[in-house]
A and B are shown apart, each in its own frame.
Chain A
Amino acid sequence: MPENNINTPSEILCYHCGDVCRDETVRKEDKFFCCTGCKMVYEILSENDLCKYYDLDEKPGITPSVRSRTKYEFLEDEQVRKQVLGFTDGKTSTVTFLIPQMHCSSCIWLLENMHRLDEGVTQSRVDFPQKKVSIKYHEEKTSLKKIAELLDSLGYEPSINLDATEKKIKSDHIKKLYYKIGIAGFAFGNIMLLSFPEYLGLEKLADPEFHTLFGWLNLILSLPVFFYSSSEYYISAWKGLKNKVINIDFPLFLGILVLFVRSLYEIILQTGAGYMDSMAGLVFLLLIGKVFQSKTYDSMNFERTYKSYFPLSVTVVKGGTETTIPLSKVKIGDRILIRNNEIIPVDSILFRGDGNIDYSFVTGESSPVQKVLGEIVFAGGRQTGSLIELEVIKNVSQSYLTGLWNNDTFRKEKESRLQTFSNVISKYFTLATIILALIGAAYWMPESADKALNVFTAILIVTCPCALALAIPFTFGNIMRIFGRNNFYIKNTSVVEYLSKADSIVFDKTGTLTQNRKSEIKFSGLALNEKELSMLRSAVRQSTHPLSRKLYDHLSGYNIIKILDFKEFTGKGISGKTESGTVKLGSEEFVTGSHSRTDDFSQDNSSRVYVAVNGDYRGYFSISNSYREGLEETIEKLGKNYNLHLLSGDNESERPFLQKYFKDPLQMYFRQSPENKLKYINALQNEGSSVIMIGDGLNDAGALKQSDAGISISEDVSNFSPACDGILESVNFPKLPDIMSVAKSSIKIIILSFAISFVYNIVVLEIAFQGLFKPIIAAILMPVSSISVVLFSVLLSNFVAKRRGFK
């Protein structure tokens, strides 16, 4: 069989990007390249003496994408410029581009040496974790468009998003948190230092004046901690109360308040040293927990809407001239041009050209749909083939696909329908502590009001749930980091909690259970020899049809030969002529002249490509979706603990096949629109289920958003995923049951941590009850209990994750 010959010549790797070179035709001096794009980048770099790029990292390059001439034309538009530029005074401007392809130190080096490729660039700086480059340039010497084109030609395609204000707010929030920690830490350290005589019982030996002085100094130092560093807790507690929820921040607030007021009272009346050290320490530790929890994956984007997928500009034809305008300015009635491989941004009518539209993006259907003049073309489809002209019939935001974003689900911030664990606990907890404190006070009241007050405040201080408030962020935060190390990225720590509470999982089919890139290809018919396969491969190389691309990849290993004549018949097939004969590939009718089947789908849901060589019919390739590896096992494991559902936009042909995997009890629905999916999830939730949606495409966007935790599966995590709560790298799909089980354990870990802190509380509660509570006890107890709980929760979650095979 010819299959055995694949890759027999020792593999040549592209000098630029490290991909396998399919042939030796693309070369420069002694270096081979996989495509002309890579070679071009190499030439640009070598001309400018930038070949150090290749020394820093092995094969660092990225194959540049094929780019249309007008791709960045819209950056000339004044309104767009205003939105994209960070600063401009007419002469110098700064701009920050997001570059998802950035991946190694060579990238940083090249992007920071932009000034050597474009004279107008004065400075460029990379922020690698966020995958951003900030460029400062002279408006006279270069332009925004030129810089974008330069980046693109090097393979670093800038991703330009016009509504990116949200990240800024987040970074400001982190900054404020650091300020607060700095101040709390400073106060904590100094107050502790000044309290040392107290701890060691030296205060009686020293001058009583010092006692007063230290007391007042402590008071001054604690003011910024009380009023600034801990302000978040007051705000959050207040907000909770307004919504009639006692959240975890309320007992914390109560603890901080009582600590401060009692210390203030003691210091002013000089009856004691106060608990300012404990208060500053408590706030300091709590804020550290907040920082640990606020870890985010900067380079990931969890908030994408259709806008991130659609082009920012379109070419409009008016009176015979073509102009490029921003998408937002497109009006009903405009004539727009869509080239090969461009996405149709708005519902329109086909006006000129052959429409051959790939809707895989929207519906999950893998084969392109043919459209004739006058037919409606929905937004979200990708044109494959020749250029088409369309007449716009709807506004961008009102189109079939984009209309989904007008749904209420997208308008409001996602609010948890479930009560978080900490809120449930803190409600009872707060009630219990207040009752305990009142009992204590009532018990001592007959003896002395002073002592009653002492006991009352001591109990409130002792029971301040700082260990609980720390166990939650550290457990969830640690699990989030473990997931991140294993290529499952979640938006924030609360997603861990939602995952742990889920009882139903809803799957999408195409791209989620099946693999987009890999398909199973089989040939049936008269065997083809190596020469013929070379001819076929050379012919399909000329075509951009998805099936051609798949065949091209399948036939890798066969030489490319020169094509003398090539024709593509949209929706039918292709024909190519070489020196050694002609080949014809395509639909049955196109190749054989007869039509035996009603559609291009057979029973096994494969698409068939018929082949004729030199006019003789030889057989067909059947190309079918392949399911992810380990699917059966994964589904079976999940099925034990969860209700599984399947929502597919595709047709029903694979129902019998999937039935085998899913068995009972499975709810399977086919031909679901994006809107249907959203409603289905909503209905499940109304029945009281807590739902996880696992999907991949834009057609799942509504369902992902509506679900309690939406996970999107992505072949390449830095690239393409709709708004969701978590992004899972597709190769890790079989890890899903482990992910769920670790998330489930997290709640148990928190309960255990809570039990530990409870032991501390009970011991000290007794002391507090007797009215013997002293600052030194608080100063020792609080850090010891907090740190032991944090250690416990981190170590235990590491252990649980390791046992489940996580790194």
Chain B
Amino acid sequence: MSVVVVLIGVSVLVAASFLVAFLWAVKTGQFEDKYTPSVRILFDDEKKKEEEKNK
């Protein structure tokens, strides 16, 4: 029966780690601007090209 206790302990720990991840994401402002990153990701290609040019 004690295996259930271990399992529950593990499950709570896993859930807690997700909670911590969420709190961290809020703290670092990842929910503040939900639009710009979606546009920014489309620009990255060109920036890399430019860096190569500079090399």
> Which A residues are within 8 Å of any B CB, using their own CB?
52, 105, 108-109, 112, 126-130, 171, 175, 178-179, 182-183, 186, 189-190, 193-194, 207, 210, 213, 217
Q: Which residues of B lie under 8 Å from residue A189 when comparing CB positions?
A: 15
Contacts of B46 in A (CB 8 A): 52
For B31, the chain A residues whose CB sits under 8 A away are 178
- Per-position contact with A for B1-23: 1 when CB-CB < 8 Å, else 0? 10011001001100110110011
Report chain B residues within 8 Å CB of A210: 4
Residues on B facing A (Cβ under 8 Å): 1, 4-5, 8, 11-12, 15-16, 18-19, 22-23, 26-27, 31-36, 39-40, 42-43, 46
Task: Name, among A175, A213, A217, the residue most crowded by chain B CB atoms within 10 Å (CB to CB).
Answer: A175
| Inter-chain contact B33/A108, CB cutoff 8 Å | no
SS of B interface (majority): helix
Q: Which of B18, B36, B42, B43 has the most CB of A within 10 A?
A: B36
Cβ–Cβ contact A128 & B1, under 8 A: no
The residue from B26, B34, B36, B42 contacting A178, defined by CB atoms under 8 A apart: B26
Task: Name B21's closest neighbour in chain A (CB-CB).
Answer: A182
Q: B26–A129 contact, CB under 8 A?
A: no
B32 lies within 8 A of A127 (CB): yes
Nearest CB in chain B: distance from A777 CB, A: 25
Whole-angstrom distance from the CB of A205 to the nearest CB of chain B?
A: 13
Within 8 Å CB of B27, what residues of A?
175
Closest to A125 in B: B36
What are 28 inter-chain pairs, A to B, with CB distance below 8 A? A52-B46, A105-B39, A105-B42, A109-B43, A112-B40, A112-B43, A126-B36, A126-B40, A127-B33, A128-B33, A128-B39, A129-B33, A130-B33, A175-B26, A175-B27, A182-B19, A182-B23, A182-B26, A183-B19, A186-B15, A186-B16, A190-B11, A190-B12, A193-B11, A194-B8, A207-B1, A210-B4, A217-B8
**How far apart are the CA atoms of A48 and B27 in the complex, in Å?**
37
The distance in angstroms between the C-alpha atoms of A112 and B33, with both chains bound, is 15
Q: Find out whether the CB atom of A171 lies under 8 angstroms from the CB atom of B32.
A: yes
Please give the distance in Å from A117's CB to the nearest CB on chain B. Answer: 14
Query: Can you add 4 more A-B contacts, CB < 8 Å, to A130-B33, A190-B11?
Result: A127-B33, A128-B35, A128-B36, A178-B26
Q: Name the distance in Å between B6's Cβ and chain A's nearest Cβ.
A: 12
Q: Report how far A210 CA is from B2 CA in the complex, Å.
A: 10
B30 → chain A closest CB, angstroms? 10
Evaluate contact between A213 and B15: CB separation under 8 angstroms: no
Question: Closest 8 A-B residue pairs measured CB to CB?
Answer: A186-B19, A128-B36, A178-B26, A127-B33, A182-B22, A105-B39, A128-B35, A129-B35
Which of A108, A183, A193, A207 interacts with B36 by CB under 8 Å? A108
Whether the pair B22, A129 counts as a contact (CB closer than 8 A) is: no
Query: Which residues on the B side are within 8 Å of A178 (C-beta)?
Result: 26, 31
Nearest CB of chain B from residue A280's CB, rounded to whole Å: 13
Residues of A within 8 A of B34 (CB): 129
**A183 to B22 alpha-carbon distance, docked (Å):** 9
Which chain A residues border B42 with CB–CB below 8 Å? 105
Closest chain-A Cβ to B40's Cβ sits at a distance in Å of 7
On chain A, the residues within 8 Å of B36 by CB distance are 108, 126-129
B18: chain A residues within 8 A (beta carbon): 186
Q: How far is the CA of A213 from the CA of B34 in the complex (A)?
A: 41
Contacts of A217 in B (CB 8 A): 8, 12
Is the pair A108, B40 in contact by a Cβ cutoff of 8 Å? Answer: yes
Q: B33 — which chain A residues lie within 8 A by C-beta?
A: 127-130
Which residues of the partner chain B approach A52 to less than 8 Å between Cβ atoms? 46
Once the chains are docked, how many angstroms separate the CA of A380 from the CA of B48?
50
B5 lies within 8 A of A213 (CB): yes
Chain B nearest Cβ from A176, distance in angstroms: 9
Q: Which chain B positions have C-beta within 8 A of A194?
A: 8
Cα distance, A210 to B27, chains bound together (Å): 36
Which residues of chain B have C-beta atoms less than 8 A from A207's C-beta? 1
- Taking a contact as CB atoms under 8 Å apart, the answer to whether A108 and B16 are in contact is no
Determine the distance from Cα of A193 to Cα of B7 in the docked complex, in whole angstroms: 12
**Which A residues lie within 8 Å of B26 (CB)?**
175, 178-179, 182
Residues of chain B within 8 A of A126, CB atoms compared: 36, 40
Q: B7: shortest Cβ distance to chain A, in Å?
A: 11
Determine how close the nearest CB of chain B comes to the CB of A91; give it in whole angstroms.
Answer: 24
Per the bound structure, the CA–CA distance linking A346 and B50 in Å amounts to: 51
Q: In the complex, A217→B4 CA distance in Å?
A: 14
Distance between Cα atoms of A189 and B12 in the complex (Å): 10
CA–CA, A105 and B18, complex, Å: 33
Q: What CA separation (Å) do A130 and B36 show in the bound complex? A: 10
Q: What is the distance, in angstroms, from A58's C-beta to the closest C-beta of chain B?
A: 15
The answer for the CA separation of A108 and B35 in the assembled complex, in Å, is 11
Closest to B1 in A: A207
- When C-beta atoms are compared, the residue in chain A nearest to B18 turns out to be A186
Cα(A183)–Cα(B15), bound, Å: 11
Nearest CB on A from B4, distance (A): 7
Question: How far, in Å, is B38 (CB) from chain A's closest CB?
Answer: 9
How far is it, in angstroms, between the C-alpha of A774 and the C-alpha of B4 when the chains are bound? 26
A171 to B15, CA, bound (A): 27
Which residues of the partner chain B approach A108 to less than 8 Å between Cβ atoms? 36, 39-40, 43
A171 to chain B: which residues have CB within 8 Å? 32
